Amino acid sequence: MTTIHRRAARSPRPPLRHAGARARALRLVAVAALFAACAPAAPGLAVAAALSPAADLVVVGGTVWTGVDGAPDARAVAVRDGRIVAVGSEAEVRRLAGPETRVVDAAGSMVVPGFIDAHVHFVDGGFRLSQVQLRDARTPAEFAARIRDYARTVPAGTWITGGDWDHSLWGGELPRREWIDSVTPNHPVWVSRLDGHMALANSAALAAAGVDRAAPEVEGGEVVRRADGSPAGVFRDNAMAMVDRVVPAPPAELNDRALDAAMRYVARQGVTSVHHVGGWGDLKVFRRAHAAGRLKTRVYAAVPLHTWARLADTVAATGRGDEWLRIGGLKGYVDGSLGSHTAAFHQPFTDDPTSRGLLVVDPDTLQRWIGGADAAGLHVMVHAIGDRANTLLLDAYERVAARNGARDRRFRIEHAQHLAPSDLPRFAALGVIPSMQPYHAIDDGRWATAVIGPERSRGTYAFRALLDARARLAFGSDWFVAPPTPLEGIYAAVTRRTLDDRNPGGWVPEQKITVEEALRAYTATAAYASFEEGIKGTLEPGKLADLVIIDRDIRRVAPEAIREARVTATIIGGEIVFQADAPR
């Protein structure tokens, strides 16, 4: 059982124990930090402790994975003023405890640096927690019934959004507005496919948007039509703007609630920092929460790439932020998604020889934006899914870097999903970070081979090949698209066992990586991917006291058992923000 208490000054107090039966007890973690700065022997640590104020919190009784090369394991960690002050043996760390020190007994569990989710749509994820849930709807009838039932819970005229449907679950047929028109006559419906690159509108939403059979085609998108030319309800990529523009923006109060819900949810998963990709409106939400002292998750917030000049002015006027909220990143797009058949490939889709996908931004325009942003000293990260999209983006990065000159720019490719073999070594050569989402591999792996064939599948989510080519691999979730659950992501990267369990040996098994490699991608390298490796990503003295306790050492269990592991405590800045046994 997890034990947390303050060290008694004179008369001992019983430790504070939270009720609740758990299969595995929480284990205290402690990492000896004064080792490096002080004398190498234990007495050096003791002397330093005697001359310093007592720790605010110590974690003992666990196995600490520090993430530090050459010194990965310790037994305990001490925290003062929101930062780590020691990492080492339990005896050494306990010497730093005083009368008011909070002691966390990890009881044999594993302690790791706080997980950093390197790609989320954070506010949207918070909203998705309360919107209609379509991700696991397995038939058109169930799809329609869930929307009908949700519509009954909200006032007439309310837009029904979210959804995250997956048409592969019912055989691949795209939904049509007729499926839901009869059950939503008084509610505009605009529900997205789980990847966010397609959405379905009902007739009420089309009427509100003024979209009919005269709707023009859109470069970088598609209006799916009936035989008579009228919209069938599904819009792809850039065409989605036809309806997006009339969806009312939620009020500030609902945005704040969505952020609070998102922070609570990811804390339960051990996520202490996120790299958010979204709009300027989201940045307002984060700033409001920061000013009110409500931020419980550290945020690196990126805004749209085409607004780079505005961001440059903002950074010049206000700086890049602090340890809770940072700016300076820009997110762009090359193509769409595999599931929507809008990812850009060199060769046609295997299941649709008439299409090679699409580009959502003209390559010359994209390169101009990247070049301007990079020249302004901003951080560029661009979405690329198909192998052609990745080639085009690497080409653009190479040209911009050559023109603007050498600097520590850390260009990122978000997803880097399907790679041509010749592009694999270019990531390390150009210093480009593949920012990838391992859960997608075990999700898309259920059907991707049918879409692109076995040969191209070998370069899909090529974790092993990228690491072997010395690329710096950063992991995230793409929440709301996939769950923000790093332990599931680690399971996915290590096993590549698809969600339908039809690939017990792993889909494209040669791309598996080790547990420690996956842990590093969620911690140290993810911190590097936001220029924050100096303050987070490993458990070392001086770094932020962001750490997670897991109910077992996931390095010591069968790979298939990683998905059974659970986060039992999440600590951010030395404060316990989630504890599994705590009453709610």
17: pLDDT strictly greater than 50: no
Give the sheet arrangement for strand 160-165, strand by strand.
Answer: 132-133, 160-165, 189-193, 198-201, 231-237, 221-225
- Three-state SS annotation for 288-325: HHHHCCCCCCEEEEEEEHHHHHHHHHHHHHHCCECCCE
271 strand-pairing partners: 115
* Cα(535)–Cα(497) distance, integer angstroms: 34
251, 243 in Cβ contact below 8 A?
A: no
Percent of the chain whose predicted confidence (pLDDT) is above 70: 91
Task: Return the ∠ at Cα 574 (arms to 572 and 578), rounded to 5°.
Answer: 50
* Cα(143)–Cα(163) distance, integer angstroms: 9
pLDDT tens-digit map of 58-105: 999 999 999 999 988 999 999 999 999 999 999 999 999 999 999 999
What confidence category does residue 19 fall into, taking pLDDT thresholds of 50, 70 and 90? very low
More confident call, 155 vs 377: 377
| 431-444: average pLDDT | 98
Strand ranges, E, within 71-180: 73-74, 76-80, 83-88, 97-105, 110-113, 115-120, 132-133, 160-165
Tell me where in the chain the CATH 3.10.310.70 domain(s) lie: 133-244
2: pLDDT strictly greater than 80: no
What confidence category does residue 251 fall into, taking pLDDT thresholds of 50, 70 and 90? confident
Residue-wise DSSP of 405-454? -S-----EEEE--B--GGGHHHHHHHT-EEEE-HHHHHHHTTTHHHHHHH
Write out the two tokens for 563: 């998905």
Torsional class of 80: left (φ above 0), alpha (ψ -120 to 50), beta (otherwise): beta
Write out the two tokens for 178: 């007729």
84, 543 in Cβ contact below 8 A?
A: yes
* Cα(546)–Cα(528) distance, integer angstroms: 16
| 347-369: average pLDDT | 97
* pLDDT value of residue 582: 65
452: pLDDT strictly greater than 70: yes
Torsional class of 255: left (φ above 0), alpha (ψ -120 to 50), beta (otherwise): alpha
Write out the two tokens for 263: 């922070």
Q: Which of 383, 389, 382, 333 is nearest to 356 (CA)?
A: 389
Percent of the chain whose predicted confidence (pLDDT) is above 90: 87
* Cα(309)–Cα(307) distance, integer angstroms: 6
* pLDDT value of residue 53: 86
In the block, tokens 């009954």 appear at 152
pLDDT tens-digit map of 520-569: 999 999 999 999 999 999 999 999 999 999 999 999 999 999 999 999 99
409, 380 in Cβ contact below 8 A?
A: yes
* pLDDT value of residue 117: 99
Tell me where in the chain the CATH 2.30.40.10 domain(s) lie: 3-113+569-579
* pLDDT value of residue 581: 80
| 135-143: average pLDDT | 95
pLDDT tens-digit map of 109-118: 999 999 999 9
* pLDDT value of residue 154: 87
213: pLDDT strictly greater than 90: yes
* pLDDT value of residue 179: 97
* Cα(539)–Cα(72) distance, integer angstroms: 9
* Residue 304, burial from CB neighbour count under 10 angstroms (0-12, 13-18, 19+): middle
9: pLDDT strictly greater than 60: no
What confidence category does residue 37 fall into, taking pLDDT thresholds of 50, 70 and 90? very low
191, 160 in Cβ contact below 8 A?
A: yes
Q: Tell me, what amino acid is at 558? A: A
420: pLDDT strictly greater than 50: yes
Instruction: Give the least confident one: 50-54, 138-142, 156-160, 559-563.
Output: 50-54
167: pLDDT strictly greater than 70: yes
* Residue 453, burial from CB neighbour count under 10 angstroms (0-12, 13-18, 19+): middle
- How confident is the prediction for the chain on average, in pLDDT? 91
More confident call, 199 vs 5: 199
Architecture of domain 133-244: Roll (3.10)
Given CA atoms 165, 170, 174, 175 in this order, what sign does their dihedral have?
A: negative
26: pLDDT strictly greater than 50: no
* Cα(579)–Cα(568) distance, integer angstroms: 6
* Cα(197)–Cα(178) distance, integer angstroms: 21
CATH number belonging to domain 3-113+569-579: 2.30.40.10
3-state secondary structure of 163: strand
Instruction: Give the least confident one: 2-6, 18-22, 106-110, 128-132.
Output: 18-22
34, 48 in Cβ contact below 8 A?
A: yes
79, 57 in Cβ contact below 8 A?
A: yes
| 170-176: average pLDDT | 95
412, 436 in Cβ contact below 8 A?
A: no
3-state secondary structure of 181: helix
pLDDT tens-digit map of 262-295: 999 999 999 999 999 999 999 999 999 999 999 9
